[in-house]
Amino acid sequence: RAKEAGRNRVAYFNSELEAQALKRLEIDRAVLRRSPLDAIEILLQPQLPICAKTHLPRFEVLARWRSEDGTLIMPGDFIPAAERNGLIQAVTKAVFRIAIRLLSQRFNQGGGEVRLAINVSAADLESTDFVFQLLKDLHAADIPPELIEIEITESMLLRMTVGVKSALRALNHAGILLSLDDFGTGFSSMAYLRELPIDSLKIDRDFVRGIETVHDRNLIAGMIAMAHSLGKEVIAEGVETPRQLEQLAALGCDWGQGYFWSSPIPPDQTFAEFG
Ligand code: C2E
Ligand code: MG
Ligand code: MG
Ligand code: MG
């Protein structure tokens, strides 16, 4: 019996792995079949002031991949696929193109200023062309660099090279804002905080989920105190309940983002409701 159970476990494990490999293959195929310029769509998720005094509306840009058959692939699946297939720079380019067009349209229609936070990958910052091209595109569209924030993750910084560091410094120098995403989940948060011109920290939603425990609340309090003492802002990710918001407000958290206010939704809808 024990032997049989063991065998079942192995069989289950194998079919699980097979299913994963198959899914990966399918996503690779979907990503290779279309140009990012045709496939990428963006949603916006609002960031709301909790204790922040400035009220410039802010939104995070979250990408989706529209397959040929109309199905939508989430970034957790297609970003790694784009990275393994050498397409990530084309994806980022497509995201920026849509974001810049969105801001231009908004200004042409007399809309007020908003800030868009855009996620990038390490490979983007390793290309020497990235910063130059972005600044050129913003200039051509007459968009102040201060309206663009770039989100980098700790995990991507594991590959932090001299090139990546100088790209981040150049972006910061040009007035583009930088935020450290998923803060607290990596291994080297402190080193990055020390070495890079970071404007804000995004506290990962794992901590926010645990905020009602003394342990996680104290961790969040520590992160906020540290960020503020360094002159940086804090954005809490994954705020879902009034209770979490209340706790974050009591701890002096500057901004919040999460399903409590809104999930990521199409830009026209986000602007109509939040900005
Ligand atoms: P992220 O940058 O940490 O983005 C936040 C993720 O949390 C988003 O997932 C968002 O939909 C989700 N989220 C927001 N509020 C809540 C909440 O209250 N509760 C919960 N449970 N989740 C919430 P999404 O859109 O699936 O994106 C996943 C990740 O993919 C992002 O994590 C980001 O790292 C990456 N990503 C998204 N768009 C891009 C992109 O254009 N370029 C790159 N390189 N990465 C991207
Ligand atoms: Mg992000
Ligand atoms: Mg995040
Ligand atoms: Mg996160």
Sign of CA dihedral 9, 11, 12, 18: positive
Q: Three-class SS of residue 219?
A: helix
Among 119, 180, 241, 265, the mutation site with the greatest number of ligand 1 atoms within 8 A of its Cβ is 119
pLDDT for 181: 93
pLDDT for 2: 58
Q: How many residues does the chain have?
A: 275
pLDDT in tens, the chain (275 residues): 556 666 677 676 678 888 899 999 999 999 999 999 999 999 999 999 999 998 799 999 999 999 999 999 999 999 999 999 999 999 999 999 999 999 999 999 999 999 999 999 988 998 879 999 999 999 999 999 999 999 998 777 776 788 888 999 999 999 999 999 999 887 767 888 888 899 999 999 999 999 999 999 999 999 999 999 999 999 999 999 999 999 999 999 999 999 999 999 999 999 999 98
Q: Which residues lie across from 52 on neighbouring strands?
A: none
Tell me the DSSP string of 245-273: HHHHHHTT--EE-STTT---B-HHHHHHH
Q: Which helix (H) or strand (E) holds 32?
A: helix 2-33
Tell me which residue of 115, 97, 106 sits closest to 46, measured CA to CA: 115
- For ligand 1, which residues put their CB under 6 angstroms from it? 45, 62-63, 74-76, 79, 95, 119-121, 151, 181-182, 205, 237-240, 258-259, 264
CB 270 within 8 A of CB 62: no
Tell me which residue of 74, 60, 63 sits closest to 30, measured CA to CA: 74
pLDDT for 4: 65
Which ipTM did the prediction report? 0.98
pLDDT for 54: 82
Q: Three-class SS of residue 41?
A: strand
Q: Cα of 60 to ligand 1 centre, how many Å?
A: 9
**Strand-pair category, 115-119 with 72-73:** unpaired
pLDDT for 7: 66
Left (φ > 0), alpha (ψ -120 to 50) or beta: where does 142 sit? Answer: left
Q: Cα of 60 to ligand 2 centre, how many Å?
A: 7
pTM here is 0.94
User: In whole angstroms, what is the distance from residue 64 CA to residue 66 CA?
Assistant: 6
Q: Cα of 203 to ligand 4 centre, how many Å?
A: 8
pLDDT for 154: 76
pLDDT for 3: 63
- What is the atom index within ligand 1 of the atom nearest the CA of 257? 15
How open is the CA angle 223-48-220, to the nearest 5 degrees?
A: 15
User: In whole angstroms, what is the distance from residue 28 CA to residue 37 CA?
Assistant: 17
pLDDT for 130: 94
User: In whole angstroms, what is the distance from residue 251 CA to residue 258 CA?
Assistant: 17
DSSP 54: -
E strand spans, 67-203: 72-73, 115-119, 148-153, 177-183, 200-203
Among 126, 149, 206, 237, the mutation site with the greatest number of ligand 1 atoms within 8 A of its Cβ is 237
Distances (CA, A) of 105 to 20, 182, 270: 41, 31, 15
